[in-house]
Amino acid sequence: MSFAAVSDGGPAPSRGEEGDGSDGNGSLRNIIDKIHSVASNIAASTEVAKVKIANADSNTQACVSLAGRLSGVLKTLTDVDSMLSDELAQIPTARHSTKRKDGDRKTFRWLYNVNDVGSSVSESSGETDRAAHQSKAVSVGDGKRSRVGTSSPAAAAAAAASSDGGCLIGVSGAPAATQQRGANTKNYGRPCLPGLPEGVMGHMGSFLTTMMATRLTRVNKETHQKATDETFGVFRHFSMTKDEEAKYQAIRKLREVKHLGKIRAAYVEASGVVQCVVELLERSAETLKELHVAEDKYPDSHEPYEDNDDTWGAHQPPQPRPSGDPTAFPSLERLNIQPEKWLGHISSIRRWALPQLRSLQVGRLSQYDTSSGCLTRLIKESPNVERLEAEMMRFDDPQWADFTAALGRCPDIKTITGLEIEMNQFSRLNQLKQALDQHWAKPERKDVPKRLEFVSEPNIGADCTQRAADLQVVGKWAAEVSCELEWRPRRWLLSSGGTRTRFMVDCSSDAGPAHPAPDGPYGEKVKQLAAEAGEVWLLLGGTPIHPSWRDKLVFSNATSLWLRIKASASGVVESIPTWLVERDGAGHIAASRSFPAVRHIDVSFRTLSLSDLPSAPSKLSRLFGGLAGLERVFFRELFSASVGCELLSYLSVPRLSEVDIAEPMSYEWPASVPAEWSFRSPRVERLVSPPLDALDINQWHSKEGVQSFLQLVSTLRAASVDFILC
């Protein structure tokens, strides 16, 4: 159902009325259209005259004379208007009513679609208004139509759906319901913006940002009253998008902002903390029930919160709250605050207290800045929190002790997600267990469902016995207190904007003999994480891991392989597990069993010279040769370019899209180039040097380096070469 505005000249005729009167230019409709055209031309001419009058001297004799002549024209037009009204009154009455209703500035016709059945606004309790989430064209007082979108930050702010007679709103296309107290019958209101029921007005405003919704207060008096109503009005929800940040930053005094003293739900997007918005939220501390601060989509810094000089831009940073009682938000139950800057601001600077908070969601918190400590302080001010969810929470040892102590003072906590525990930090699980057992181990709480989710970067070494034992103890405890344990791999941010999980296989340690792979929960979880990993790091130069890992470490989804060695080159090839270079099938081009999907390899062999490489075939050559889907090679650190040529000759793929090579540690080159470097190496489409902005990579800058690169070009004969000399 939608509203379509028609002209002020009267209602649109039905199809049966079209063509009434005689044919040709003398038809009634044609004559009326011409009269309307003349009237429009007169109106346009007067508008132009108004502009000229603003620049004219009204006291001149010419203006006085013209005014006298126009007075005569005005009398004639008045007579014509009266005559026209009398004649138009003779038009036969249509079957539908053309009576204007109070508050209407236009006459409307209602357009229905058979597919809109059930899309009416229901004001009875429990009914569903599915059409409210459709994009609707609503005619406003000046005859223009404004289309209201359905996917906006304001809709997210309205998700809290204020109770106490407020408008219940579902977000992201979910069904929504509009409720009014005491309303048992359907009331569609009048077919115009001021005629919308109060609940519908508030619902419509929830799809707009607050700055856009303020326009509803300027349509007319009736719309102003409905828009600013404390029960159903549009200012119960506050929303601000990133492109509005500068306008809010310019607000210096809250008296410049009206109708925002009783916000119930708020949604904020900003690159930094907006002091005006913080003060608005604090002014609504008694009524605010939900706050969502979105992650900055355009971060310009990854520095710690307190050291970031650009946090406030050109504006003065907010002052810390004076010593004394913190700012209490007695109604706030849900807080989703993703940016570290906002977390630090409300926790450390403004010192919010959240006695009724039930759900707390945060983003990525690091041990290297103050964000983890800010979270701990916020938990201390939220004793009734039940859910603590994060993308990742990382703590150092002192921070971990404070965090677990804060959890011990939260008797209702039931869900904790995103808690990072490295596989060599399983002893921390015992500290967490002791803190939670203060409440979870009580008889009345043991059967309450609970959930713990840990984030870890899988790291498998020669000895994982103790890790498996620790995990088994924690698993037994979790079963006793009705807690579901989950493990997920840490996700690393990529320069492209995506994420990737990493798995590390450590064969670089000389700590002792390799131990068999543990069975039970630990072994099964390692197998699962290996299958899900997108990137594998293989560290060489020590003791190879035990053959019992063979069936658990199959990296079927890994597309990137990183090879690293320790300082010494001795034992690099011997440290590669034999089972890790096995292939699925026979022949030179058979794919690796452990790395069937690898497309990119990153190599750092800075201490491995050409003389350290054994003659093929070897475990190293079989490892490279099994990468049947390889497309790109990056030699990040090499002892010499000759090592790169030797490694490329191990490959079984017919072509490579790109080979990147940084300046090596030395410029050794054999007096006689091995023939296999040319005929065994794949065809290289592009041979490139690292870009100038690449971090921690040696750039080509010396004369010897240029000569070495040219030797590489003449050997590989790449289709194209991109070389940057610093």
pLDDT (tens digit per residue) in 52-64 = 776 665 556 677 7
Pair 510, 459: CB distance under 8 Å: no
Could you give the CA distance from residue 574 to residue 581 in angstroms, rounded to a whole number?
12
Angle (nearest 5°) at CA 635 between 634 and 640 = 160
The pLDDT assigned to 257 comes to 67
Query: Around Cβ 671, how many Cβ atoms within 10 Å?
Result: 4
The pLDDT assigned to 93 comes to 63
The pLDDT of 2-29, averaged and rounded, is 45
The pLDDT assigned to 589 comes to 76
Model pLDDT for residues 415-440, shown as the tens digit of each residue:
999 999 887 777 788 899 999 999 99
The pLDDT assigned to 319 comes to 55
**What is the DSSP-derived secondary structure letter of residue 656?**
E
**In this model, does residue 594 exceed pLDDT 50?**
yes
**In this model, does residue 137 exceed pLDDT 60?**
no
User: In terms of pLDDT, which residue wins out, 315 or 33?
Assistant: 33
The pLDDT assigned to 151 comes to 46
Q: Which residue in this structure is represented by tokens 């809109």?
A: 116
The pLDDT of 512-539, averaged and rounded, is 90
Tokens of 542: 């020590």
Q: What percent of the chain has pLDDT over 70?
A: 76
Kind plus residue range of the DSSP H or E element containing 564: strand 560-565
**In this model, does residue 189 exceed pLDDT 80?**
no
The pLDDT assigned to 54 comes to 65
**In this model, does residue 590 exceed pLDDT 70?**
yes
User: Using 50, 70 and 90 to split pLDDT, how confident is the model at 200?
Assistant: confident
The pLDDT of 253-277, averaged and rounded, is 84
The pLDDT of 151-155, averaged and rounded, is 51
The pLDDT assigned to 627 comes to 95
Distance of CA 570 to the CA centre of its chain: 47
Model pLDDT for residues 318-368, shown as the tens digit of each residue:
555 555 678 899 999 999 999 889 999 999 889 999 999 999 999 988 767
The pLDDT assigned to 624 comes to 95
| Mean pLDDT score of the chain | 78
The pLDDT assigned to 258 comes to 73
- Name the residue among 657, 541, 645, 561 with its Cα closest to residue 603: 561
User: In terms of pLDDT, which residue wins out, 154 or 636?
Assistant: 636
Query: Around Cβ 162, how many Cβ atoms within 10 Å?
Result: 23
Can you spell out the DSSP letters for 355-399? TT--EEEEEEE-TTSSHHHHHHHHHHT-TT--EEEEEEE---HHH
The pLDDT assigned to 143 comes to 38
Distance of CA 262 to the CA centre of its chain: 28
Could you give the CA distance from residue 238 to residue 228 in angstroms, rounded to a whole number?
13
**In this model, does residue 136 exceed pLDDT 50?**
no
The pLDDT assigned to 165 comes to 39
User: Using 50, 70 and 90 to split pLDDT, how confident is the model at 100?
Assistant: very low
pTM surpassing 0.75? no
Pair 717, 677: CB distance under 8 Å: no
**In this model, does residue 184 exceed pLDDT 90?**
no
- Name the residue among 573, 572, 585, 577 with its Cα closest to residue 549: 577
- Name the residue among 685, 620, 681 with its Cα closest to residue 659: 685
**In this model, does residue 314 exceed pLDDT 70?**
no
The pLDDT assigned to 521 comes to 84
The pLDDT assigned to 621 comes to 93
User: Using 50, 70 and 90 to split pLDDT, how confident is the model at 212?
Assistant: confident
Tokens of 281: 């939220």
The pLDDT of 142-149, averaged and rounded, is 40
Cα end-to-end span (Å), the chain? 66
User: Using 50, 70 and 90 to split pLDDT, how confident is the model at 683?
Assistant: very high
Tokens of 138: 């609503």
Angle (nearest 5°) at CA 598 between 592 and 600 = 135
